[in-house]
A and B are shown apart, each in its own frame.
Chain A
Amino acid sequence: MLSPVTLMVNGSPVAVPAGTTVAVAVVAAGQACRTSVSGEPRGPLCGMGTCFECRVAINGKPHCRSCQILCEPGMEVRTD
């Protein structure tokens, strides 16, 4: 069993198995990935990088499609 990865989601630590994507970490932590133009909470829809609903800021870089990105130790994830 590969050792778990700990990353920060909106300032709180989240531990996930290695090989987990950031989108999964955010959803499993019960958080929305972004807020829509009219203020709705949104989460991943397509799971494959085409809908852009899962976009979050990772280590300061905005608009990252979190369903395509693997969690790395110490990552800082910020949702909208």
Chain B
Amino acid sequence: MAAAVRAAECGVRVGIVDDNASLGGQIWRSGSEGGQPKEAVGWAERLRTAGVTALCSMRIFDQPEATVLLAEGTDDVHELRCENLVLATGARERFLPFPGWTLPNVMGAGGLQAMVKCGLPMRGKRVVVAGTGPLLLAVAACLRQHGAEIPLICEQASWGNLARFSLSLLGQSLLGPYGKLIQGLRLTAELGGTPFAANSWPLAAHGRQTLESVTVSRGGKSETIRCDYLACGFHLVSNIELPLLLGCQIQNGCVQVDDLQRTTVPKVLCAGEPTGIGGVELSIVEGQIAGLAAAGRATEARKLFGERERARRFASILDRTFRLRPELTSLPAPETIVCRCEDVPYSRLRQHTSWRAAKLHTRCGMGPCQGRVCGPATQFLLKWNPASVRPPIFPARVESLAAFADGPAPEHNQVTGGI
């Protein structure tokens, strides 16, 4: 949104393509009760005023030639042509398998929060929150606001790491904006009394048709907790499928960009989580830099470098604090399903030495999610590197794939933009 606004305010014709029904990604997901943060509303206003075209419920699945992208909507398909492209594909949660993780009502932490924002009732429900990352606290606070009871928050990071994290947040806010400190204090107030355990992780989820209880490791001992939902996610991984498809250089799972957020592909820029997980403030300033750079306003873009530098410091702290501990590699049992699309258990995957071999022999990664869930899991468990994509990067209807097979789109299906 930030990139689109800054470019459009420079007079460039801008369109946004978003897979979701409304703009704002995961962090500003609006739900059945509205209630978006003021900042989100502000950017949305500027977007409308600047005349940005919003193409929602649409996903890009292929790039048949250099300046053309194919996007599938709910019932149609579009050919998109543009001069400059800013990729802001965001991030998704990392899921790690453990016995029982495929039971209904075991969801991601952000996953359950998204469902709650879209109307899932929480009043009187017991939810265990587990995994790692600052998202856990934000999710717990949201769930409590909606009336859920949280018997325990299980964070796999150590107390030492968390203490250092808090101190550096304090340090950051003394030097810069008070944002993070206030956020932290507010969260503490909202969560007052919610049991929190560091050095803690899920061992197993139990239930017949749906989740009934969770066993967690806490202080070296295991504890079983009755619950209705398990909100479990292990921090975030960048969505780099579209950048990969376009040929952008990737390093350590992130899109490589220069100081103007330009990728290694001419006229393709990238901002936000795909360039490195860093949170919303960093994404917004990177987005602005990318939008200005795409509009040819490098000088104005450079004015934001200081703000980006400050936001980046938080990003590197995040990384260190929530690194996954090696004990988590022993979570899955041999029969634990790792590839949920094709029901491939851990024991079958361990027989192979690479992602590619496992894919060919077991179909792991060939299902609808195309490795978005099992990829990061196997990367952590088995040190595999599943870094290549083939179009379509999202499942697409046959009619969409065939639509432009015989030449350019009929005019009403063409959308041309300036960015």
Contacts and interface: CB of A to CB of B under 8 A. Distances in A.
Contacts of A50: 92, 239, 369, 372-373
Contact of A45 (B26, B111, B118): B111
Interface in B69-122: 92-93, 95, 102-108, 110-115, 118-121
Give the interface centre of A32, A33, A53, A69 by most chain B CB atoms within 10 Å: A53
Nearest to A19: B32
Nearest to B120: A24
A36 B373 CA distance: 15
A48 B92 contact: yes
Contacts of A16: 119
A79 B207 CA distance: 20
Interface residues of B, number: 42
Contact of B373 (A32, A37, A46): A46
A6 interface: no
Interface residues of A, number: 37
A37 to B, nearest CB: 4
A49 B19 contact: yes
A45 B373 CA distance: 10
Contacts of A51: 95, 340, 369, 372-373
B107 A47 contact: yes
B19 A41 contact: no
B368 interface: yes
A41 B104 contact: yes
B369 A70 contact: no
A63 B106 contact: no
A32 B102 CA distance: 11
B92 A46 contact: yes
B340 A47 contact: no
A27 B209 CA distance: 12
A60 to B, nearest CB: 13
Interface string A27-40: 11010110011101
**Interface SS, A side:** loop
A21 B31 CA distance: 9
Nearest to B57: A68
A30 B125 CA distance: 14
Interface string B49-62: 00000000100000
A27 B105 contact: yes
B395 A53 contact: no
Contacts of A30: 210
A24 to B, nearest CB: 5
Given A48-B114, A51-B340, A63-B395, A42 B102 contact: yes
Contacts of B340: 36, 42, 45, 51, 53
B368 A63 contact: yes
Interface string A44-62: 1111111111010000000
A67 interface: yes
A40 B102 CA distance: 8
A21 B117 CA distance: 10
A48 B104 contact: no
B110 A21 contact: no
Given A46-B373, A67-B114, A21 B343 contact: no
B399 interface: no
Contact of B21 (A17, A40, A70): A70
A35 to B, nearest CB: 11
A19 B33 contact: yes
Interface of B: 19-21, 26, 31-33, 57, 92-93, 95, 102-108, 110-115, 118-121, 209-210, 239, 337, 340-343, 367-369, 372-373, 395
Given A46-B111, A50-B373, A68-B21, 8 more contacts: A19-B32, A24-B120, A25-B119, A27-B104, A28-B119, A28-B121, A43-B105, A51-B372
Q: Enumerate the 8 nearest inter-chain pairs by beta-carbon distance, A residue then B residue, closest first.
A: A19-B32, A47-B114, A20-B119, A43-B104, A47-B111, A52-B368, A21-B118, A38-B343
Interface of A: 16-21, 23-25, 27-28, 30, 32-33, 36-38, 40-53, 55, 63, 67-70
